[in-house]
Structure 1
Amino acid sequence: MSLMNSKDFEATPEVRLAPRFTAGFATTPQQILETQKLRYQIFAGELGAQIDGGADGVDCDEYDAYCQHLTVREVSTGELVACTRILTDEAAARAGGFYSAGEFELSMIDSLPGRVMEVGRTCVRAEHRSGAVIATLWQGLAAFFTQHGYDYLFGCASIGLEDGGAQAHSILRQVQAKYMAPAYQRVRPYHPLPLPDSEPPQKVKMPPLLKAYLSLGAKACGDAYWDQDFNCADVFVLVNVSEICPRYARHFLGIQSTTNVIGHA
Protein backbone atom coordinates (compact mmCIF):
# COMPACT_ATOMS: atom_id res chain seq x y z
CA MET A 1 0.00 0.00 0.00
CA SER A 2 1.37 3.41 -0.91
CA LEU A 3 0.63 6.78 0.63
CA MET A 4 -0.68 9.62 -1.54
CA ASN A 5 1.96 12.33 -1.86
CA SER A 6 1.18 16.05 -1.88
CA LYS A 7 1.40 16.29 -5.66
CA ASP A 8 -1.17 13.50 -6.09
CA PHE A 9 -3.44 15.17 -3.56
CA GLU A 10 -3.37 18.51 -5.32
CA ALA A 11 -4.25 16.89 -8.64
CA THR A 12 -7.27 15.04 -7.23
CA PRO A 13 -10.47 16.62 -8.55
CA GLU A 14 -12.92 18.05 -6.02
CA VAL A 15 -15.55 15.56 -4.92
CA ARG A 16 -19.06 17.07 -5.03
CA LEU A 17 -21.66 15.33 -2.94
CA ALA A 18 -25.16 15.00 -4.33
CA PRO A 19 -27.63 17.29 -2.54
CA ARG A 20 -29.68 15.67 0.20
CA PHE A 21 -32.73 17.86 -0.44
CA THR A 22 -34.35 19.24 -3.56
CA ALA A 23 -36.91 21.99 -4.19
CA GLY A 24 -39.82 21.75 -6.60
CA PHE A 25 -43.48 22.59 -7.00
CA ALA A 26 -46.57 20.55 -6.23
CA THR A 27 -48.36 20.41 -9.58
CA THR A 28 -51.03 17.74 -9.13
CA PRO A 29 -54.04 17.63 -6.77
CA GLN A 30 -52.39 14.72 -4.95
CA GLN A 31 -49.16 16.63 -4.41
CA ILE A 32 -50.99 19.72 -3.19
CA LEU A 33 -53.02 17.56 -0.81
CA GLU A 34 -49.73 16.19 0.53
CA THR A 35 -48.59 19.72 1.42
CA GLN A 36 -51.93 20.45 3.09
CA LYS A 37 -51.62 17.30 5.19
CA LEU A 38 -48.09 18.23 6.23
CA ARG A 39 -49.33 21.68 7.23
CA TYR A 40 -52.06 20.12 9.34
CA GLN A 41 -49.64 17.70 11.01
CA ILE A 42 -47.38 20.55 12.08
CA PHE A 43 -49.83 23.39 12.74
CA ALA A 44 -52.58 21.35 14.42
CA GLY A 45 -50.80 18.20 15.56
CA GLU A 46 -47.56 19.74 16.81
CA LEU A 47 -48.46 23.34 17.60
CA GLY A 48 -52.09 22.86 18.62
CA ALA A 49 -53.57 25.32 16.12
CA GLN A 50 -57.34 25.49 15.78
CA ILE A 51 -57.87 24.95 12.05
CA ASP A 52 -61.29 25.48 10.52
CA GLY A 53 -62.43 22.50 8.51
CA GLY A 54 -59.40 20.45 9.51
CA ALA A 55 -61.28 17.43 10.84
CA ASP A 56 -60.02 15.28 7.96
CA GLY A 57 -56.39 16.09 8.71
CA VAL A 58 -56.04 18.71 5.98
CA ASP A 59 -55.14 22.40 6.34
CA CYS A 60 -56.89 24.07 3.42
CA ASP A 61 -58.30 27.54 2.83
CA GLU A 62 -59.67 29.60 -0.04
CA TYR A 63 -56.21 30.87 -1.02
CA ASP A 64 -54.73 27.47 -1.84
CA ALA A 65 -56.32 27.37 -5.29
CA TYR A 66 -54.52 30.58 -6.26
CA CYS A 67 -51.09 29.71 -4.83
CA GLN A 68 -47.91 28.08 -6.06
CA HIS A 69 -47.00 25.31 -3.58
CA LEU A 70 -43.22 25.09 -3.18
CA THR A 71 -41.92 21.84 -1.70
CA VAL A 72 -38.68 20.45 -0.33
CA ARG A 73 -38.14 16.69 -0.50
CA GLU A 74 -35.43 14.38 0.72
CA VAL A 75 -33.75 13.04 -2.41
CA SER A 76 -33.08 9.51 -1.14
CA THR A 77 -36.63 8.83 0.07
CA GLY A 78 -38.83 11.32 -1.79
CA GLU A 79 -40.34 12.32 1.56
CA LEU A 80 -41.92 15.77 1.76
CA VAL A 81 -40.01 17.55 4.54
CA ALA A 82 -41.04 21.20 4.05
CA CYS A 83 -43.40 23.38 2.08
CA THR A 84 -44.54 26.92 1.64
CA ARG A 85 -46.94 28.67 -0.70
CA ILE A 86 -46.51 31.66 -2.96
CA LEU A 87 -49.31 34.09 -3.77
CA THR A 88 -48.27 36.49 -6.52
CA ASP A 89 -49.75 39.96 -6.98
CA GLU A 90 -51.67 38.85 -10.06
CA ALA A 91 -53.07 35.77 -8.33
CA ALA A 92 -53.97 37.83 -5.25
CA ALA A 93 -56.09 40.10 -7.44
CA ARG A 94 -58.07 37.04 -8.52
CA ALA A 95 -58.25 35.70 -4.96
CA GLY A 96 -59.62 38.95 -3.57
CA GLY A 97 -56.43 40.03 -1.80
CA PHE A 98 -53.46 38.68 0.12
CA TYR A 99 -53.79 36.28 3.04
CA SER A 100 -51.90 38.70 5.30
CA ALA A 101 -54.63 41.29 4.78
CA GLY A 102 -56.69 39.35 7.31
CA GLU A 103 -54.13 40.21 9.99
CA PHE A 104 -52.64 43.54 8.92
CA GLU A 105 -53.68 46.76 7.24
CA LEU A 106 -51.67 46.46 4.03
CA SER A 107 -52.07 49.74 2.17
CA MET A 108 -48.27 50.08 2.26
CA ILE A 109 -47.95 47.13 -0.12
CA ASP A 110 -49.91 48.99 -2.79
CA SER A 111 -47.32 51.79 -2.75
CA LEU A 112 -44.33 49.53 -3.45
CA PRO A 113 -42.80 49.95 -6.91
CA GLY A 114 -42.64 46.81 -8.99
CA ARG A 115 -44.05 43.32 -8.58
CA VAL A 116 -44.74 41.71 -5.20
CA MET A 117 -45.38 38.19 -3.94
CA GLU A 118 -46.51 36.79 -0.61
CA VAL A 119 -44.96 33.77 1.10
CA GLY A 120 -46.97 31.94 3.71
CA ARG A 121 -48.03 28.72 5.45
CA THR A 122 -44.37 27.71 5.70
CA CYS A 123 -43.67 24.56 7.68
CA VAL A 124 -40.79 22.10 8.14
CA ARG A 125 -40.87 18.68 9.78
CA ALA A 126 -39.40 18.81 13.28
CA GLU A 127 -36.58 16.36 12.52
CA HIS A 128 -35.53 18.41 9.48
CA ARG A 129 -35.41 21.93 10.91
CA SER A 130 -31.82 22.34 9.86
CA GLY A 131 -29.96 24.92 7.86
CA ALA A 132 -29.90 22.60 4.83
CA VAL A 133 -33.68 22.42 4.53
CA ILE A 134 -34.22 26.14 5.10
CA ALA A 135 -31.47 26.86 2.54
CA THR A 136 -33.11 24.59 -0.02
CA LEU A 137 -36.45 26.30 0.56
CA TRP A 138 -34.84 29.68 -0.06
CA GLN A 139 -33.09 28.40 -3.15
CA GLY A 140 -36.50 27.54 -4.56
CA LEU A 141 -37.95 30.92 -3.61
CA ALA A 142 -34.94 32.74 -5.04
CA ALA A 143 -35.20 30.88 -8.32
CA PHE A 144 -38.89 31.73 -8.58
CA PHE A 145 -38.70 35.45 -7.85
CA THR A 146 -35.64 36.01 -10.03
CA GLN A 147 -36.98 34.02 -12.98
CA HIS A 148 -40.34 35.82 -12.84
CA GLY A 149 -39.06 39.31 -12.02
CA TYR A 150 -40.52 40.01 -8.58
CA ASP A 151 -39.14 43.02 -6.74
CA TYR A 152 -40.46 42.36 -3.23
CA LEU A 153 -41.60 39.40 -1.21
CA PHE A 154 -43.37 39.55 2.11
CA GLY A 155 -45.06 37.33 4.63
CA CYS A 156 -45.43 36.48 8.28
CA ALA A 157 -42.79 34.74 10.38
CA SER A 158 -44.40 33.18 13.44
CA ILE A 159 -43.17 33.02 17.03
CA GLY A 160 -44.80 30.43 19.29
CA LEU A 161 -46.57 31.51 22.47
CA GLU A 162 -46.39 28.23 24.36
CA ASP A 163 -44.87 29.98 27.38
CA GLY A 164 -47.50 32.71 27.42
CA GLY A 165 -45.54 35.13 25.24
CA ALA A 166 -42.48 35.98 27.35
CA GLN A 167 -39.96 34.58 24.84
CA ALA A 168 -41.85 36.13 21.94
CA HIS A 169 -41.56 39.58 23.48
CA SER A 170 -37.84 39.05 24.03
CA ILE A 171 -37.43 38.11 20.35
CA LEU A 172 -39.55 41.08 19.29
CA ARG A 173 -37.29 43.40 21.30
CA GLN A 174 -34.29 42.11 19.33
CA VAL A 175 -36.15 42.62 16.06
CA GLN A 176 -37.26 46.14 16.98
CA ALA A 177 -33.73 47.10 17.98
CA LYS A 178 -32.03 46.03 14.74
CA TYR A 179 -34.40 45.09 11.94
CA MET A 180 -37.26 47.58 11.67
CA ALA A 181 -38.42 48.99 8.35
CA PRO A 182 -38.69 52.78 7.90
CA ALA A 183 -41.95 54.41 8.96
CA TYR A 184 -43.35 54.57 5.42
CA GLN A 185 -43.08 50.77 5.14
CA ARG A 186 -45.02 49.90 8.29
CA VAL A 187 -48.22 47.89 8.56
CA ARG A 188 -50.72 47.84 11.42
CA PRO A 189 -51.86 44.58 13.07
CA TYR A 190 -55.60 44.31 13.63
CA HIS A 191 -55.00 42.41 16.87
CA PRO A 192 -51.65 43.35 18.44
CA LEU A 193 -49.84 40.95 20.75
CA PRO A 194 -50.66 41.88 24.39
CA LEU A 195 -47.94 42.67 26.89
CA PRO A 196 -46.48 39.66 28.74
CA ASP A 197 -47.43 38.83 32.32
CA SER A 198 -43.77 38.53 33.32
CA GLU A 199 -40.45 40.09 32.38
CA PRO A 200 -39.19 38.59 29.08
CA PRO A 201 -35.99 36.54 29.30
CA GLN A 202 -32.81 38.20 28.10
CA LYS A 203 -31.54 35.42 25.82
CA VAL A 204 -33.81 33.39 23.58
CA LYS A 205 -33.42 31.42 20.37
CA MET A 206 -34.87 33.05 17.28
CA PRO A 207 -37.19 30.81 15.20
CA PRO A 208 -35.41 29.42 12.10
CA LEU A 209 -37.74 31.03 9.55
CA LEU A 210 -37.57 34.48 11.14
CA LYS A 211 -33.79 34.15 11.44
CA ALA A 212 -33.55 33.21 7.76
CA TYR A 213 -35.64 36.22 6.72
CA LEU A 214 -33.55 38.64 8.76
CA SER A 215 -30.28 37.12 7.54
CA LEU A 216 -31.41 37.82 3.98
CA GLY A 217 -31.93 41.47 4.82
CA ALA A 218 -35.68 41.47 5.54
CA LYS A 219 -37.21 44.26 7.60
CA ALA A 220 -39.96 43.89 10.18
CA CYS A 221 -42.81 46.23 9.35
CA GLY A 222 -44.32 47.00 12.74
CA ASP A 223 -45.89 45.34 15.76
CA ALA A 224 -46.73 41.63 15.73
CA TYR A 225 -50.21 40.23 15.19
CA TRP A 226 -51.67 37.94 17.88
CA ASP A 227 -52.92 34.84 16.07
CA GLN A 228 -55.00 33.13 18.74
CA ASP A 229 -56.05 30.23 16.51
CA PHE A 230 -52.42 29.29 15.87
CA ASN A 231 -51.21 30.46 19.33
CA CYS A 232 -48.40 32.53 17.86
CA ALA A 233 -47.21 36.06 17.20
CA ASP A 234 -46.91 36.90 13.50
CA VAL A 235 -44.14 39.29 12.49
CA PHE A 236 -44.79 40.92 9.11
CA VAL A 237 -41.52 41.00 7.16
CA LEU A 238 -40.65 42.61 3.84
CA VAL A 239 -37.73 41.70 1.56
CA ASN A 240 -36.56 44.11 -1.12
CA VAL A 241 -34.92 41.76 -3.63
CA SER A 242 -32.43 44.42 -4.71
CA GLU A 243 -31.24 44.81 -1.10
CA ILE A 244 -30.75 41.16 -0.18
CA CYS A 245 -27.59 40.65 1.87
CA PRO A 246 -24.76 40.18 -0.68
CA ARG A 247 -23.45 37.02 0.97
CA TYR A 248 -26.88 35.40 0.78
CA ALA A 249 -27.46 36.76 -2.71
CA ARG A 250 -24.36 34.93 -3.92
CA HIS A 251 -25.44 31.77 -2.13
CA PHE A 252 -29.07 31.75 -3.28
CA LEU A 253 -29.44 33.95 -6.36
CA GLY A 254 -26.18 32.78 -7.87
CA ILE A 255 -27.51 29.25 -8.29
CA GLN A 256 -30.89 30.11 -9.75
CA SER A 257 -29.89 29.14 -13.27
CA THR A 258 -29.30 25.52 -12.17
CA THR A 259 -32.28 25.20 -9.82
CA ASN A 260 -35.15 23.55 -11.64
CA VAL A 261 -38.08 24.96 -9.69
CA ILE A 262 -39.74 27.21 -12.27
CA GLY A 263 -43.41 27.80 -11.53
CA HIS A 264 -46.14 29.68 -13.34
CA ALA A 265 -46.36 33.33 -12.34
Structure 2
Amino acid sequence: MSQVDSTPSPFTAPHLVAVLGRIGTMEVCLAQTEAEIVSAQQLRFKVFFDELGAKGSASLEQRDADRFDPVCDHLLVYDTSIIGPKHKQIVGTYRLMRSEVAHKTGGFYSASEYTIDSLVAAKPQMHFLELGRSCVLPEYRSKRTVELLWQGIWSYCRYHSIDVMFGCASFQGTVPAAHALPLSFLHHNCRATPDWDVKALPSLYQPMDLVPSEAVNPKVALFAMPPLIKGYLRLGAMIGDGAVVDHDFGTTDVLIILPVSRISTRYVSHYISNAKRFD
Protein backbone atom coordinates (compact mmCIF):
# COMPACT_ATOMS: atom_id res chain seq x y z
CA MET A 1 0.00 0.00 0.00
CA SER A 2 1.70 3.14 -1.19
CA GLN A 3 1.26 6.68 -0.04
CA VAL A 4 -1.76 8.29 -1.61
CA ASP A 5 -3.50 11.63 -1.60
CA SER A 6 -6.24 11.52 1.04
CA THR A 7 -8.10 14.63 -0.11
CA PRO A 8 -11.84 13.84 -0.41
CA SER A 9 -12.78 13.56 -4.08
CA PRO A 10 -15.89 14.81 -5.88
CA PHE A 11 -17.12 11.21 -5.87
CA THR A 12 -17.54 11.15 -2.09
CA ALA A 13 -20.77 12.16 -0.38
CA PRO A 14 -20.21 15.01 2.09
CA HIS A 15 -23.78 16.23 1.56
CA LEU A 16 -25.30 13.70 3.98
CA VAL A 17 -26.19 15.05 7.41
CA ALA A 18 -23.18 15.48 9.66
CA VAL A 19 -24.24 12.94 12.30
CA LEU A 20 -25.90 9.72 11.11
CA GLY A 21 -26.43 8.23 14.56
CA ARG A 22 -25.56 8.72 18.21
CA ILE A 23 -25.69 6.57 21.34
CA GLY A 24 -24.50 8.22 24.52
CA THR A 25 -21.12 9.82 23.85
CA MET A 26 -20.62 7.81 20.65
CA GLU A 27 -21.59 9.11 17.22
CA VAL A 28 -21.24 7.97 13.62
CA CYS A 29 -20.74 10.20 10.60
CA LEU A 30 -18.97 10.43 7.24
CA ALA A 31 -15.46 11.82 6.96
CA GLN A 32 -15.62 15.38 5.66
CA THR A 33 -11.97 16.43 5.65
CA GLU A 34 -8.55 15.15 4.66
CA ALA A 35 -7.56 15.06 8.35
CA GLU A 36 -10.46 12.73 9.16
CA ILE A 37 -9.54 10.33 6.35
CA VAL A 38 -5.92 10.31 7.55
CA SER A 39 -7.15 9.52 11.07
CA ALA A 40 -9.17 6.60 9.68
CA GLN A 41 -6.08 5.33 7.85
CA GLN A 42 -4.04 5.60 11.06
CA LEU A 43 -6.71 3.67 12.95
CA ARG A 44 -6.66 0.97 10.30
CA PHE A 45 -2.87 0.78 10.61
CA LYS A 46 -3.12 0.28 14.40
CA VAL A 47 -5.59 -2.57 13.97
CA PHE A 48 -4.37 -4.30 10.80
CA PHE A 49 -0.61 -3.83 11.16
CA ASP A 50 0.19 -3.27 14.84
CA GLU A 51 -2.43 -5.59 16.31
CA LEU A 52 -3.11 -8.21 13.63
CA GLY A 53 0.31 -8.31 11.97
CA ALA A 54 -0.43 -7.33 8.38
CA LYS A 55 2.76 -7.49 6.34
CA GLY A 56 1.97 -5.35 3.31
CA SER A 57 3.88 -2.15 2.72
CA ALA A 58 2.45 0.87 4.52
CA SER A 59 3.24 4.55 4.38
CA LEU A 60 5.96 6.13 6.48
CA GLU A 61 3.25 7.98 8.41
CA GLN A 62 1.93 4.61 9.66
CA ARG A 63 -1.24 4.72 7.64
CA ASP A 64 -3.08 1.91 5.88
CA ALA A 65 -3.70 3.72 2.61
CA ASP A 66 -4.31 2.69 -0.99
CA ARG A 67 -5.59 4.07 -4.28
CA PHE A 68 -9.23 3.51 -3.31
CA ASP A 69 -9.26 5.82 -0.28
CA PRO A 70 -9.56 9.14 -2.15
CA VAL A 71 -12.66 8.02 -4.08
CA CYS A 72 -14.43 6.19 -1.25
CA ASP A 73 -16.60 7.49 1.54
CA HIS A 74 -15.33 6.76 5.04
CA LEU A 75 -17.75 6.02 7.85
CA LEU A 76 -16.35 7.01 11.25
CA VAL A 77 -17.37 6.29 14.83
CA TYR A 78 -16.23 8.86 17.36
CA ASP A 79 -16.10 8.79 21.12
CA THR A 80 -16.95 12.45 21.69
CA SER A 81 -15.90 12.26 25.34
CA ILE A 82 -12.25 11.99 24.22
CA ILE A 83 -10.80 15.01 22.47
CA GLY A 84 -7.38 14.58 20.88
CA PRO A 85 -4.86 17.34 20.19
CA LYS A 86 -6.49 18.17 16.84
CA HIS A 87 -9.92 16.52 16.72
CA LYS A 88 -12.30 14.01 18.31
CA GLN A 89 -11.15 10.43 18.87
CA ILE A 90 -12.01 8.04 16.01
CA VAL A 91 -12.58 4.54 17.39
CA GLY A 92 -14.06 2.70 14.39
CA THR A 93 -14.31 2.98 10.62
CA TYR A 94 -15.81 1.41 7.49
CA ARG A 95 -14.94 2.21 3.87
CA LEU A 96 -17.79 2.58 1.37
CA MET A 97 -17.70 2.55 -2.44
CA ARG A 98 -20.77 2.82 -4.65
CA SER A 99 -20.93 1.08 -8.02
CA GLU A 100 -21.24 4.34 -9.96
CA VAL A 101 -18.03 5.57 -8.32
CA ALA A 102 -16.22 2.28 -8.99
CA HIS A 103 -17.27 2.45 -12.65
CA LYS A 104 -15.70 5.90 -13.03
CA THR A 105 -12.54 5.34 -10.99
CA GLY A 106 -11.15 1.91 -11.85
CA GLY A 107 -13.32 -0.73 -10.21
CA PHE A 108 -13.87 -2.32 -6.82
CA TYR A 109 -11.24 -3.45 -4.33
CA SER A 110 -12.96 -6.87 -4.13
CA ALA A 111 -12.39 -7.41 -7.85
CA SER A 112 -8.77 -8.29 -7.06
CA GLU A 113 -10.08 -11.47 -5.38
CA TYR A 114 -13.57 -12.19 -6.77
CA THR A 115 -15.53 -11.93 -10.02
CA ILE A 116 -17.73 -9.19 -8.59
CA ASP A 117 -17.66 -7.19 -11.83
CA SER A 118 -19.64 -9.89 -13.64
CA LEU A 119 -22.40 -9.74 -11.02
CA VAL A 120 -22.59 -5.93 -11.18
CA ALA A 121 -22.68 -6.04 -14.98
CA ALA A 122 -25.48 -8.63 -14.90
CA LYS A 123 -27.68 -6.33 -12.79
CA PRO A 124 -27.17 -2.86 -14.33
CA GLN A 125 -30.41 -1.54 -12.85
CA MET A 126 -29.17 -2.06 -9.30
CA HIS A 127 -27.01 0.16 -7.10
CA PHE A 128 -24.18 -1.78 -5.42
CA LEU A 129 -22.22 -0.73 -2.34
CA GLU A 130 -18.87 -2.28 -1.43
CA LEU A 131 -18.15 -2.43 2.31
CA GLY A 132 -14.52 -2.80 3.36
CA ARG A 133 -11.68 -1.96 5.74
CA SER A 134 -13.91 -2.45 8.76
CA CYS A 135 -12.06 -2.06 12.05
CA VAL A 136 -12.65 -0.93 15.63
CA LEU A 137 -10.21 -0.28 18.44
CA PRO A 138 -10.08 -3.26 20.86
CA GLU A 139 -11.58 -1.39 23.82
CA TYR A 140 -14.59 -0.36 21.71
CA ARG A 141 -15.47 -3.76 20.24
CA SER A 142 -18.98 -3.86 21.64
CA LYS A 143 -22.55 -4.22 20.44
CA ARG A 144 -22.94 -0.45 20.76
CA THR A 145 -20.13 0.34 18.30
CA VAL A 146 -21.32 -2.26 15.78
CA GLU A 147 -24.86 -0.90 16.05
CA LEU A 148 -23.61 2.62 15.36
CA LEU A 149 -21.68 1.49 12.29
CA TRP A 150 -24.79 -0.20 10.93
CA GLN A 151 -26.94 2.82 11.68
CA GLY A 152 -24.52 4.81 9.53
CA ILE A 153 -24.45 2.22 6.76
CA TRP A 154 -28.24 2.00 6.70
CA SER A 155 -28.65 5.79 6.52
CA TYR A 156 -26.11 5.83 3.67
CA CYS A 157 -27.94 3.03 1.84
CA ARG A 158 -31.26 4.82 2.10
CA TYR A 159 -29.81 8.11 0.89
CA HIS A 160 -28.15 6.52 -2.16
CA SER A 161 -30.94 3.96 -2.88
CA ILE A 162 -28.53 1.04 -2.47
CA ASP A 163 -29.90 -2.34 -3.58
CA VAL A 164 -26.96 -4.64 -2.78
CA MET A 165 -24.10 -4.57 -0.27
CA PHE A 166 -21.04 -6.76 -0.66
CA GLY A 167 -17.42 -7.04 0.40
CA CYS A 168 -14.69 -9.29 1.66
CA ALA A 169 -14.80 -10.47 5.28
CA SER A 170 -11.90 -12.23 6.91
CA PHE A 171 -10.79 -15.08 9.11
CA GLN A 172 -7.46 -14.37 10.78
CA GLY A 173 -4.62 -16.50 9.41
CA THR A 174 -3.56 -17.79 6.01
CA VAL A 175 -4.31 -21.50 6.44
CA PRO A 176 -7.92 -22.21 5.41
CA ALA A 177 -7.80 -25.65 7.04
CA ALA A 178 -7.48 -23.90 10.41
CA HIS A 179 -11.03 -22.65 9.83
CA ALA A 180 -12.37 -25.85 8.29
CA LEU A 181 -15.52 -25.99 10.39
CA PRO A 182 -16.84 -22.42 9.91
CA LEU A 183 -15.79 -22.34 6.25
CA SER A 184 -17.61 -25.61 5.63
CA PHE A 185 -20.67 -24.33 7.46
CA LEU A 186 -20.73 -21.28 5.19
CA HIS A 187 -20.31 -23.46 2.10
CA HIS A 188 -23.07 -25.91 3.02
CA ASN A 189 -25.59 -23.47 4.50
CA CYS A 190 -25.00 -19.94 3.27
CA ARG A 191 -23.92 -20.13 -0.37
CA ALA A 192 -25.32 -17.53 -2.74
CA THR A 193 -28.16 -18.53 -5.01
CA PRO A 194 -27.20 -18.85 -8.71
CA ASP A 195 -28.51 -15.39 -9.59
CA TRP A 196 -26.24 -13.79 -6.96
CA ASP A 197 -23.23 -16.06 -7.13
CA VAL A 198 -19.69 -14.70 -7.33
CA LYS A 199 -16.59 -16.89 -7.51
CA ALA A 200 -13.04 -16.41 -6.31
CA LEU A 201 -10.59 -15.76 -9.15
CA PRO A 202 -9.23 -19.09 -10.46
CA SER A 203 -5.64 -18.34 -9.46
CA LEU A 204 -6.71 -17.57 -5.88
CA TYR A 205 -9.57 -20.04 -5.34
CA GLN A 206 -9.48 -22.04 -2.10
CA PRO A 207 -12.22 -24.65 -1.54
CA MET A 208 -14.47 -24.10 1.46
CA ASP A 209 -16.12 -27.52 1.66
CA LEU A 210 -13.39 -28.96 3.90
CA VAL A 211 -15.75 -30.92 6.16
CA PRO A 212 -18.78 -32.98 5.01
CA SER A 213 -22.12 -31.35 5.78
CA GLU A 214 -23.17 -34.11 8.15
CA ALA A 215 -20.01 -33.62 10.22
CA VAL A 216 -20.54 -29.88 10.76
CA ASN A 217 -21.91 -28.94 14.17
CA PRO A 218 -23.67 -25.59 13.52
CA LYS A 219 -23.28 -24.32 17.10
CA VAL A 220 -19.57 -25.04 17.15
CA ALA A 221 -19.11 -23.59 13.66
CA LEU A 222 -20.92 -20.36 14.56
CA PHE A 223 -18.95 -20.04 17.79
CA ALA A 224 -15.75 -20.12 15.71
CA MET A 225 -17.06 -17.56 13.22
CA PRO A 226 -15.67 -14.00 13.29
CA PRO A 227 -18.27 -11.61 14.78
CA LEU A 228 -18.39 -9.51 11.60
CA ILE A 229 -19.35 -12.51 9.47
CA LYS A 230 -21.96 -13.63 12.02
CA GLY A 231 -23.42 -10.13 11.92
CA TYR A 232 -23.72 -10.26 8.14
CA LEU A 233 -25.40 -13.66 8.32
CA ARG A 234 -27.96 -12.36 10.84
CA LEU A 235 -28.89 -9.68 8.33
CA GLY A 236 -29.45 -12.27 5.59
CA ALA A 237 -26.12 -12.29 3.75
CA MET A 238 -25.01 -15.00 1.34
CA ILE A 239 -21.45 -16.23 0.71
CA GLY A 240 -19.60 -16.38 -2.60
CA ASP A 241 -17.90 -19.46 -4.03
CA GLY A 242 -14.43 -20.09 -2.64
CA ALA A 243 -12.12 -18.48 -0.09
CA VAL A 244 -9.04 -16.38 -0.88
CA VAL A 245 -5.82 -16.16 1.13
CA ASP A 246 -4.59 -12.59 1.53
CA HIS A 247 -0.92 -12.92 2.48
CA ASP A 248 -0.39 -9.16 2.89
CA PHE A 249 -3.06 -8.91 5.55
CA GLY A 250 -2.58 -12.41 6.94
CA THR A 251 -6.21 -13.43 6.41
CA THR A 252 -8.47 -15.94 4.70
CA ASP A 253 -11.26 -14.00 2.97
CA VAL A 254 -14.79 -14.89 1.98
CA LEU A 255 -17.13 -12.75 -0.10
CA ILE A 256 -20.28 -11.40 1.53
CA ILE A 257 -23.29 -10.66 -0.72
CA LEU A 258 -26.25 -8.91 0.92
CA PRO A 259 -29.19 -7.76 -1.21
CA VAL A 260 -31.12 -5.19 0.79
CA SER A 261 -34.33 -7.10 -0.02
CA ARG A 262 -33.04 -10.02 2.09
CA ILE A 263 -32.66 -7.97 5.27
CA SER A 264 -35.43 -8.94 7.65
CA THR A 265 -38.14 -6.41 8.46
CA ARG A 266 -37.22 -6.31 12.14
CA TYR A 267 -33.65 -5.24 11.35
CA VAL A 268 -34.81 -2.64 8.84
CA SER A 269 -37.26 -1.23 11.39
CA HIS A 270 -34.53 -1.17 14.05
CA TYR A 271 -32.03 0.77 11.97
CA ILE A 272 -34.64 3.15 10.56
CA SER A 273 -35.97 4.01 14.02
CA ASN A 274 -32.52 4.31 15.58
CA ALA A 275 -30.53 5.88 12.75
CA LYS A 276 -30.47 9.22 14.57
CA ARG A 277 -31.10 8.06 18.13
CA PHE A 278 -29.84 10.29 20.92
CA ASP A 279 -29.84 8.79 24.42
CA RMSD of aligned residues (A): 2.6
Aligned match of 2:263: 244
In 1, Cα distance between the equivalents of 2:143 and 2:251?
Answer: 22
- Structure 1 position 156 matched with structure 2 position 156: no
- The 1-side partners of 2:110 and 2:160 are apart by 22
Unaligned runs of 5+ in 2: 1-21, 83-87
CA distance in 2, matches of 1:222, 1:135: 28
Partner of residue 122 from structure 1, selected from 134, 142, 149: 134
Unaligned runs of 5+ in 1: 1-16, 261-265
In 2 relative to 1, CA 18–182 (structure 1 residues): closer, same or farther, beyond 3 Å? closer
Change (3 A) 1:25 1:195: closer
Change (3 A) 1:20 1:173: farther
Query: What is residue 206 of structure 2 aligned with on the other side?
Result: 193
Work out whether 1:92 is the aligned partner of 2:111: no
Worse overlay, 126-135 or 138-147: 126-135
The one-letter code sitting in structure 2 at the alignment partner of 1:176 is H
> Structure 2: which amino acid aligns with 1:61?
D
Distance (whole Å) between structure 1 residues aligned to residue 191 and residue 119 of structure 2: 15
Q: Deviations over 1:87-145 (max 9, x none)?
A: 11121122210110011122112212411111111111112111111111000000000
Query: Match of 2:85?
Result: none
Deviation at 1:56, TM superposition (A): 2.7
Q: Secondary structure at the match of 1:97?
A: coil
CA distance in 2, matches of 1:176, 1:254: 34
Query: May I ask how many residue pairs the two structures share in their alignment?
Result: 242
> Which whole-Å deviations, capped at 9, do the CAs of 1:19-72 have from their partners, x for residues lacking one?
242110111111100000011111111111122233431111001010000001
Deviations, residues 204-229 of structure 1 (Å, cap 9, x unaligned): 43212111111111111221111111
Structure 1 residue ranges (4+ consecutive) displaced by more than 3 angstroms after TM superposition: 164-167, 193-202
55, 59, 69: which one pairs with 1:54?
59
Indicate yes or no: 2:216 matched with 1:209.
no
Go from structure 1 to structure 2 and tell me whether the alpha carbon gap of 1:219 and 1:195 turns closer, same or farther (over 3 Å shift): closer
Call closer, same or farther: CA 1:194–1:48 in 2, change over 3 Å: farther
Relative to the length of structure 1, the TM-score reads: 0.83
SS in structure 2 of the partner of residue 181 of structure 1: coil
Identity %: 32
Distance 2:33 2:255 in 1: 30
Paired with 2:209 and 2:55, the residues of 1 have a C-alpha distance of 22
CA shift, 1:197, in A, is 11
SS at match of 2:161: coil
Q: Per-residue deviation at 1:79?
A: 2.0
Larger Cα-atom Rg: 1
> Which range is displaced more, 220-229 or 50-59?
50-59
Query: Which letter does structure 2 place at the counterpart of 1:97?
Result: G
User: Are 1:220 and 1:237, in contact at CA under 8 Å, matched by a contact in 2?
Assistant: yes
- Which of 168, 172, 185 is 2:183 aligned to? 172
